[in-house]
Amino acid sequence: MIGGHGESRERRLTLYTKPDCELCHEAKAALLALSQEFTLDVVEIDITTDTALYDAFHAEIPVGFLGGQKLFKYRVDLALVRRQIARRRGGFMGRWRSILWPSPS
């Protein structure tokens, strides 16, 4: 996954958490279930292992990033995550858009 390839970056969802955080446990469970649906790589990072990460995220956890962009904080909105994954992958909405609203010739 390391190497900067766009496709692998778009498949990686980074979840910043800390131990003993109930919201973090809920977010992780939801994302792991979703990872099976979308072949998504969920990477969990404990913010207590790095002072800079702790300073950046201690008031927002859990916080998730997809493709380097913040996707959510506190709670996972699965519908939003699904839409963002589909959008980044040129998902079914893009195909439906071309059928429903064809480009002028």
* 85 inside domain: yes
CATH code of the domain covering residue 21: 3.40.30.10
Specify the number of domains making up the chain: 1
Domain span holding position 55: 6-100
Higher-confidence position of 69 and 23: 23
> What digits encode the pLDDT tens for the residues 6-34?
445 557 899 999 999 999 999 999 998 88
Q: Counting beta carbons within 10 angstroms of the beta carbon of residue 97, is it exposed (0 to 12), middle (13 to 18) or buried (19 or more)?
A: exposed
* 105 inside domain: no
Q: Among 33-42, 48-57, 67-76, 78-87, name the most confident range.
A: 48-57
- pLDDT above 90 covers a percentage of the chain that reads 46
